[in-house]
Chains A and B, each alone.
Chain A
């Protein structure tokens, strides 16, 4: 039997999404089922069962299953991981609890911090010491490790994290401790800090390792049951798991360091956005996923999403940096904002409207759901403003109560602020957009991009309603609303090329670096990454170098295409680094030499040729209706045309203001915005943007430090 099918499975907190593509003819089928929180693998089997009704011999004909899951995140949030012990260098077992000794909110005396995942009595110090240069000051005391194992045995510990000082430079003691633990505690999982996160800063490394240990047994069990379940149903090929940075790993790799799949679902959404960007030939994207509780944004540059290593889990305040536990793993650098359809609006002590970050969720839900919610939410405001059709929400499966929405906005917001109901609703819409825009502005600037360079790809239930407003605020000139936005993440799994990344620290002054050794370093990590690729496919290799001024921490990643053997190579890297630095900070630091922090390769398969059913209409669809919506600030309601998305013809153009409705979402465009249906069925909107004429920067910046020269 040929195996032309590929199957993407995204297990979310509420719903599990499936997308199967037949690469022979490009047909796609999608499926959605409720997630079984207690046993997510059962949702997988159920969804496959449902799909198999329409696709005979589904698993036998499937050549690749790619999977994303929120399992690890949920284990952490619900504290349902393994009973974990920690072995640390003697004298330093409390590093996990001491953290950085800082308050994340300088004005709040009563802040709460997350509980350490390992209580003090299960943190054991053992005599051993490696110094900063990797030399051994105190050899590992193996007897104490065995004694610690005995304590863990008595406590029924199921997972052990080992984190010794400077192990990122010399991991021998951690490895030996692991051998002993495996002898003494068969069946107990062990996580080593130099494997999980081989970087300095003991708290961040220890925290990451403990989280890894904590989720490992659960993740292993789940992934094994999943693989077995698939095999039992006739699946013979490899199972891939999406990592938090969009890479795809085999089940074996994911089981080895499961903390790496903590953001696997959102990563799949980013992959989907990147896929549509590629098809449309857009180099620089801002993916925008707005659901019920949060909005997630991510920059995708030349097909690659920004990544971070300062990720936190289990935040006490979801949107306050520093209130969680650091998990320093490669994660797509998503900006998560407490802004969704369910975000609640209120008037604060100062008489100002605030929106979110708390959400009415699905229960009690927005006032207009008539499920008991009375607080005004973003969805209520969108309904009052005419953006949502009360009779066509989820394709009409759920009716919205416009009167309830108006009462909520009037009663909770309009009276106290002295605004009309319409003004208050417009205020909520505007503020939630502005909350997203102001957070996005910092995020975009941190990545060294400017919004005018970015096209926004919007999805999620509330994304297309707010996308034009947000993009306009940010100054993104173009907006793309792809088809199937309700199952974007599972689609992303099919669209993502199998990809791996490898890097190697160099930490040497660029001028003093020997290019031959850099070239051989590149070749080595390329072959390491290449070994993980499926056979028979020539991989695409992309090289880059991380450069910074010597002494700084944050490098900038500079593309380093081709072999590095030309005499001009270093100068070329340095020139492009300085240009990037100048663009970000308005200056360069030519007092200090440029350092090659590390080299990096990204190895991938060619992106799969995923084809999606196209709109079939032969002629332009006329509006199916018209209704009054709030078009712009300060104006009242205006009557605009409403279109049915599935009826639109490829190439059809619509000039805003207009509303385009579909089952899972609604797209709203403003006056003068020009929408066109592209051949893939994407709505591509060119927005009317009034951009500042002055470029960022200017004469009052303290300029290039050419005059800072050393005397």
Chain B
């Protein structure tokens, strides 16, 4: 069957609409801020050959390259000919699915006229999966919680209650987590209905022709953009920030080979698995490696399997970028969230207009709080705050904008209603953005305190605050690009004392945790920044008068809030060495 360009466009939009509807169903029926506010999920639609055709507009970036692999793994275990209407398959296996136990994937076949025409899949980052919870300290997967192998959660419409019984018995807040699991089933139901209505309306028997068309268009569009890059091999080495409690150095070696209309990213030579909960599964590595290529080269064509095909990712087994069971994986984003900027750093000279300086908040911050309320009920709250966005050839970075994962912050008032704590401050931090012709976005400072529950049971709160670990004097600061300077600030303090991030700490009533999230890296030489833009930054409180002079060579008369043009000229021309160039990630 042939499809004309008009029909393809119409049906392609509809494929996206269908998964967006599924995501709406998920958000509206979910129980935890992890889904409702944080938006850490992905809904995706596949054809009968398990090729991803569309994903929800609201999603986190890390899932984009993962979902196709998850479905293929499901089908390998449960071949299509064994599937029946009403079946649903579940797992949270890090190596089969999305890289850590806390994410649950659920997929279902979509039957139309008695045959499978597609699949629907929904991945959600849950609030809890038992175990030691969200800490970098776990040494292996067994410490990290309950593992659900690939199982049929539903068999021809009958619930496999054993799965839920086991989960209920192992999870701290089972009603909420199982509530979110049910919301995933809603998402799959909505997606399935949407596809069937589409097939009926257009009198299609299946998605084969349409699937091939949209995948081909996405793939060939990206290939054309890759082909425009100069062929060559580009190398880089990143020594990642030290992980608290882990002696091993984590080194990511990367070689990007641009060859015609394809890209190979080879991580050979990277460090072996480590005894900290940061090991990546291959799926995760591949996903966050393919994402920046699409982002930089062909952002406006809707993504699907075709957006992954031109990119080959090589990662030797047994390394931190392709770990094996039972490595610990909870904080795998400590590494995987850095792949986009490592790819950008490696390719900045061949596509300088298409890269971002480092984001001050990558890897993503995560805050966990667990304890009991005055009345004895357990609570488990999650929060996230972002650092400053990296500057680019086009723009300054915005203050505090999430990258690369793209999850929302959880409102202060939601968390305070959920957990026995209150925030003391959450505000922008002056001078934290990396200086540059375009300035990195400013970062923020956050502080919270524990409230007294009034009973012995409701006294202490367990809390872990995970940060990027990137400091200005470390091996892996928040890099500026093409002459831009590094972003500044990062740290965690417990009652004023600096402490390790990413580990659990027992907090007593009145205890305070304060943390700083770095600003983004700058782009281009800061001495080339228009002095009037520096003045505007000073007026906004993004940059101090002192730093305006030191970092940008712009002298500002504090009384009149004007640029001292002559003093600025002298300073800018007179200073030798100018602003030190940023080191690329090596």
Residues of A near any B CB (own CB < 8 A) = 90-95, 97-98, 100-103, 106-110, 112-113, 119-121, 125, 129, 131-132, 137, 165-166, 200-204, 349-354, 417, 419, 426-427, 430-431, 434-435, 438-439, 441-442, 445-446, 473, 549, 551-554, 584-587, 589, 591-592, 692-694, 696-703, 705, 707-708, 711
Whether the Cβ atoms of B400 and A98 lie closer than 8 Å is yes
A112 to B389, CA, bound (A): 12
Q: A427-B5, A694-B200, A699-B157 in contact; A711/B168 too (CB < 8 A)?
A: yes
Chain A residues whose C-beta falls within 8 Å of the C-beta of B294 in the assembled complex: 107
Contact (Cβ within 8 A) A702 B86: yes
Task: Give B28 Cβ to nearest chain A Cβ, in Å.
Answer: 4
How many angstroms between the C-alpha atoms of A120 and B406 in the bound complex?
A: 25
Tell me if B91 is interfacial: C-beta within 8 Å of chain A. no
**B402-A103 in contact (CB<8A):** yes
Point out the residues of chain A lying under 8 angstroms from B392, CB to CB: 109-110
Is the Cβ of B400 less than 8 Å from the Cβ of A101?
yes
Q: In the complex, which residue of chain B has the Cβ closest to the Cβ of A474? A: B201
Given A438-B17, A586-B186, A591-B178; A102-B414 close (CB under 8 Å): no
27 CB contacts below 8 A, A to B, read A90-B425, A91-B426, A94-B444, A102-B39, A106-B59, A107-B299, A137-B422, A165-B412, A201-B413, A352-B6, A427-B4, A439-B17, A553-B36, A584-B25, A585-B186, A586-B190, A587-B186, A587-B189, A589-B29, A591-B182, A592-B179, A692-B201, A694-B196, A698-B193, A700-B111, A702-B86, A702-B153
The chain B residue with its CB closest to the CB of A113 is B398
Partner of B356, one of A109, A119, A703: A109
- Give chain B's interface residues, CB within 8 Å of chain A: 4-6, 8-10, 13-14, 17, 20-21, 24-25, 27-31, 36, 39, 57, 59, 61, 64, 85-88, 108-111, 153-154, 157-159, 161, 164-165, 168, 175-176, 178-179, 182, 185-186, 188-190, 192-194, 196-197, 200-201, 217, 221, 294-296, 299-301, 303, 356, 384-386, 392, 394-395, 398-403, 406-409, 411-414, 416-417, 422-428, 444, 447, 451, 539-542
**CA separation between A97 and B389, bound complex, in Å?**
13
Q: Are B417 and A108 in contact (CB under 8 A)?
A: no
CA distance in complex: A315, B324 (Å): 46
Partner of B192, one of A112, A426, A446, A700: A700
Quick check: A589 and B61 within 8 Å, CB to CB? no
Task: Compute how far the CA of A227 lies from the CA of B9 in the bound complex, rounded to whole angstroms.
Answer: 51
Q: Is B197 a contact of A696 with CB atoms below 8 Å?
A: yes
* Bound-complex Cα distance A3 to B153 (A): 69
Q: Which residues of B contact A589 (CB under 8 A)?
A: 29, 179, 182
Q: A165-B413, A708-B164 are in contact. List 11 more A-B contacts (CB 8 A).
A: A101-B401, A101-B408, A107-B303, A131-B451, A137-B422, A417-B5, A431-B10, A434-B13, A702-B88, A702-B185, A703-B157
Check B540 against A120 for contact (C-beta < 8 Å): yes
In angstroms, Cα B402 to Cα A700, docked, is 37
A131 touching B398, Cβ below 8 Å:
no
Determine the distance from Cα of A427 to Cα of B299 in the docked complex, in whole angstroms: 25
- Whether the Cβ atoms of B413 and A166 lie closer than 8 Å is yes
A to B contact number (C-beta, < 8 Å): 259
Nearest-CB residue, chain B, relative to A426: B6
Cα of A558 to Cα of B545 in the assembled complex, Å: 59
- A551-B417 Cα distance, complex, nearest whole Å: 12
Shortest distance between the CB of B20 and any CB in chain A (Å):
6
Known: A350-B221, A350-B301, A702-B157. A591 touches B179 (CB 8 A): yes
A241 to chain B, nearest CB (A): 31
When the two chains form their complex, are residues A708 and B5 in contact, meaning their CB atoms are under 8 A apart? no
Give the shortest distance, in Å, between A111 (CB) and chain B (any CB).
Answer: 8
| Contact of A98 with B413 in the complex, beta carbons under 8 Å | no
Chain B residues near A353: list those with CB within 8 A: 5-6, 9
Specify which chain B residues have a CB less than 8 angstroms from the CB of A693 in the assembled complex.
200
A202 to B37, CA, bound (A): 13
The answer to whether A701 touches B21, judged by C-beta atoms less than 8 angstroms apart, is no
A333–chain B nearest beta-carbon distance, Å: 13
CA distance A119 to B541 in the complex (A): 10
**Are A702 and B179 closer than 8 Å at their CB atoms?**
no
B401 contacts A586, CB within 8 Å?
Answer: no
Q: Is the CB of B13 within 8 A of A708?
A: no
A132–B189 CB distance below 8 A: no
Q: Among B28, B401, B428, B541, which residue has its beta carbon within 8 angstroms of that of A103?
A: B401
Across the interface, which residues of A come within 8 angstroms of B197, CB to CB?
692, 696
B85 and A132 within 8 A (CB): no
